[in-house]
């Protein structure tokens, strides 16, 4: 079945460090890909998305490129801030027959230290 | 403000209790979802409603019973739960159930079953 694999956390970085959170997926079709972020005590918020191969999603300094050849959607940010501390979820959405489902990875906890 | 509210935010219940979780969206969306978020596990989709009709039920035990009286409200009725049902229950909504539609999440209800 469809699945998403994220790098395990927790990830701890110093402020202004470079961030990469790896995400790979398995899907039988051509899914849309998403990164969601969950700040402490809050629900998930969409961070960025890409709906077809080679699309780049970007928001708040974060970027991710939909790579069909490597089935990946790695999240990157050039210079993280303390306020970026949160849990990050990679997800895919695939329509297959009558099934429509957003499938999430297990999440990666990021802590940024001042 | 995500436009999706959930009550209560925290709930402690015994295994013989009956309780209900409520979700309300103020975004004019037509699709609503229940997810279960357990520690160290990916988010699990439980139910999907589209235009008040249930379109997905991911093999959820019958001790969880959803209700969608209109497009703005979604309930999750709980009875005779087990301790392993303790988790964060997230509600989400989207304009439709198409893969390109962003899902907007509420803050969740933190449930503890004793």
| pLDDT tens, residue by residue, A42-58 | 888 999 999 899 999 99
User: Which chain A residues are Cβ-neighbours of B48 within 8 angstroms?
Assistant: 100-101
User: Which chain B residues are Cβ-neighbours of A107 within 8 angstroms?
Assistant: 42
**Inter-chain CB proximity A46 and B106 less than 8 Å:** no
User: Which chain B residues are Cβ-neighbours of A98 within 8 angstroms?
Assistant: 55
| pLDDT tens, residue by residue, B54-85 | 877 778 999 999 999 998 999 999 999 999 99
Q: And the tokens for B40?
A: 């160290």
Q: How far is CA A107 from CA A37, A81, A86, B34, B85, in A?
A: 9, 19, 10, 18, 20
Pairing of strands A86-96, A32-38: antiparallel
Average pLDDT over residues B11-26: 93
Are A61 and A48 in contact, with CB atoms under 8 Å apart?
no
Q: How far is CA A5 from CA A14, A50, B18, B56, in A?
A: 25, 17, 36, 23
- Supply the pLDDT for residue A41: 80
**Inter-chain CB proximity B55 and A100 less than 8 Å:** yes
Report the C-alpha gap between B97 and A91 in whole angstroms.
15
Report the C-alpha gap between A73 and A30 in whole angstroms.
13
Q: Which residues of B touch A (CB under 8 A)?
A: 2, 4, 6, 33, 40-43, 45, 48, 55-56, 58, 90, 92, 97-100, 102-108
Report the C-alpha gap between B105 and A85 in whole angstroms.
19
The answer to whether residue A32 scores a pLDDT higher than 60 is yes
Q: And the tokens for A114?
A: 């001042």
Report the C-alpha gap between B66 and A14 in whole angstroms.
44
Which residues, listed in sequence order, are joined to residue B90 by a DSSP beta bridge?
A: B35
**Inter-chain CB proximity B105 and A43 less than 8 Å:** yes
The answer to whether residue A96 scores a pLDDT higher than 80 is no
- Using the structure block, give the residue that is written with the tokens 């709930």: B11
Q: Which residues of A touch B (CB under 8 A)?
A: 4, 31-32, 36, 41-46, 49, 51, 89, 93-95, 98-107
CA torsion angle A107 A108 A110 B1 (round to 10): -10
Q: How many CA atoms lie within 13 A of B113 on its CB side?
A: 19
**Inter-chain CB proximity B100 and A101 less than 8 Å:** no
């Amino acid at each position: 079945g469809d699945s998403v694999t994220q790098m395990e956390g927790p990830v701890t970085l110093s402020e202004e460090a470079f961030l990469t959170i790896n995400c790979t997926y398995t899907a039988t079709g051509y899914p849309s890909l998403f990164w969601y972020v969950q700040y402490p005590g809050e629900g998930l918020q969409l961070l960025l998305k890409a709906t077809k191969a080679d699309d780049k999603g970007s928001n708040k300094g974060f970027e991710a490129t939909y790579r069909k050849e490597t089935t990946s959607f790695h999240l990157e940010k050039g210079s993280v801030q303390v306020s970026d501390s949160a849990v990050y979820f990679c997800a895919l959405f695939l329509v297959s027959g009558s099934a429509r489902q957003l499938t999430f990875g297990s999440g990666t906890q990021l802590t940024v230290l001042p | 403000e995500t436009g999706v509210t959930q009550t209560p935010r925290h709930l402690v219940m015994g295994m013989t209790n009956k309780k209900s979780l409520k979700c309300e969206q103020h975004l004019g969306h037509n699709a609503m979802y229940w997810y279960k978020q357990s520690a160290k596990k990916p988010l699990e989709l439980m139910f999907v409603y589209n235009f008040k009709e249930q379109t997905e039920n991911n093999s959820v035990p019958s001790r969880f019973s959803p209700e969608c009286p209109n497009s703005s409200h979604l309930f999750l009725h709980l009875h005779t739960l087990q301790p392993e049902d303790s988790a964060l229950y997230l509600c989400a909504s989207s304009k439709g159930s198409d893969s390109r539609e962003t899902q907007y999440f509420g803050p969740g209800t933190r449930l503890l079953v004793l």
